[in-house]
Structure 1
Amino acid sequence: MKRSRRKARRENEAWPEDAAVETVEPGPAEQNETEEAAGWKTSTAGLTGLARLARLGAWALIASGPVIGVLALLSSSAPAQSAPKPQAAVKSTAATGPAGFAQLFVGSYLEAGEGTEKNLAPYYSGSIALTHPAGTRSALRTQVMDAREVSSGYWSVTVAVNVAAKSKKGGYTDAGVQYFRVAVQSTGSAADATSGYTAVSLPAQVAAPRSLKPGDLGYPTSRGSGTADPASDTAASFLKAYVAGQGELDRYTAPGIHISPVTPTPYSSIKLTAVQDDSPDSADNKVPGDGVRRRLLVSVDATDADGNTFPLTYALGLTARAGRWEISSLDDAPATAAQSKPSSAPNAQAPAAPSGAASPSGS
């Protein structure tokens, strides 16, 4: 077959004019072979394109490898999303529960007696035998004075009690304020949602806690009960407007100080009974220069509409301005000796007043 083609080619070259007329038609076998050759070429071209795509995909995969690795690392380190597990309740170490428990225990202890020991069972599980009649003593009022956690879940609570004692005639007399110390232990664990308490022993009666002496307060100078001193007169007028509704408060307060009166008005009149201040000289009744400050501790008798009189004490801050004293603060508590300093020099700055001086509510 190849020889036939070469022969035809030679003939065409030898007789070009006849080559246009005579054409060698391929036989069926030659046609099949030609089609197969053409088909192979087409398939090779297609495969070549696929190979290019495959190479490009491989290079893309190689280039994105670090990115995929970082994403995989982040996904593995992220916390797994699952249903939240219930957390164990943490028991509070606040003394509110033990303090309340101790108050109830002391009240029941004072009122219990022979035959009523079972009333103490909710508080104390130890054996107890009382020999005095029930109701010999009674707790009129109880108040926690101190509550300290001496170790984890174990408190020492001191309770003040206004005790009424039963007399032989059957009536009750005021036995004064007495103090009892109770050791209270928590009966719950850290995982409990609620805690119970128990007393590890019966109450112990103790002495009263120490209190401040009058000398510890920062008002060394007494002004008496008169109003000859301009500072005392301003304080008295201010308190009459504050709790008795007599006059306007703005008349006696420094600029920028806003104090609301007590409402409804609880008293009909006010009488000055004693004034103490932090000034070094009780004889000096002159109003100093602008800006000088003074602290006063003012005691009054307040009388209500029914004629009942009640003693009250107020801690006030005053500032001199334009030849007169003005109320610059209604203090939350009296100043101690450590807080107070003499303020006789002009423009002397007294220690910062408690929070009530900044925005006193008056209620």
Structure 2
Amino acid sequence: MKALVLSGGSGTRLRPFTHTSPKQLVPVANKPVLYYVLEDIAQASITEVGIVVGETSNEIRKAVGSGDRFGLRVTYLPQEAPLGLAHAVLIARDYLGEEDFVMYLGDNFVVGGIAGNSSTFRAERPDAQILLTRVSDPSSFGVAEIGCDGRVVALEEKPRHPRSDLAVVGIYLFTPVVHEAVRALTPSRRGELEITDALQWLLDGPYDVRYTTISGYWKDTGNVADMLEVNRAVLDGIEPGMEGQADAASELVGRVRIEAGAQIRASRIVARRHRAGRVTDRTSALHVDRGDCSIETARSSLHHAGRLPAHGTRRVQHSLLGRNVTVAPAPRVPAGSRLILGDDSRVEISS
């Protein structure tokens, strides 16, 4: 069995963060989302992985390499444009050959992993197996309709009027019959080859499409809110500890973990309800400058040599801060806001 990991999307919902980094490499607790995907695949005893890459190919290749660190053998499959999930299967045809495979979206995060589902699929070998979960806004996902007999009867991608609240999780298991389904597709109204249409082709034929409803934690980390929620969930499971450095003028309160390389100076860091205040960075130093007031961060993520001068800076919340970002107090001038923003940015200013 092989794995097909999709990492070719442009990440428009995470801009401007993804103007300089692929969405699959945005870190969750200091580790790219894509790494969690690859670790999950390895834990399912799959060793051959094809990664579909697009315009961010160089960054993905640099981050993953040959796959040795994960116990995997990685092959990169270029995709000229993000033309749909089924299009990724189409271009991977030669690589996949006649083997069963799991298709895993490179920005999805699933607690519990796929080992159990892949084991069941290998043993029973339906033509396809999908994972479903209940969501509050199914119009943002592929949606499954379940018949009275408990079987999937219909699938639709991002429907205007969803027929259920069961969203298709970005993990699919297929036998080679899916290649015939993909070849039969025409582009949807979105101009893409939809994997939901390929699954519907199977449902309309003499094929066995099964599903598993997952109740555990799943997130499509394609937007800032979901990225911060996943970051919070992962940090909640990290044990407190001190591997970095904190000077004598600093105070750490609660379940705080300071990773190797982090430097805490003249600061008070508080883990509130086991959720906020952790400073974790394995790759570079985090600097909190000395000042006459404290910094408070809540449900935020700061990465790669970020800098938070304490003096005059107040609460930072629900924020995703990129590499080498500096958050500093504005000069004392009459009320107003000075903004320097890139394309597709969003700013919320308190009145």
Give the TM-score taking structure 2 as reference length.
0.22
Higher relative contact order (CA 8 A, sep 6+): 2
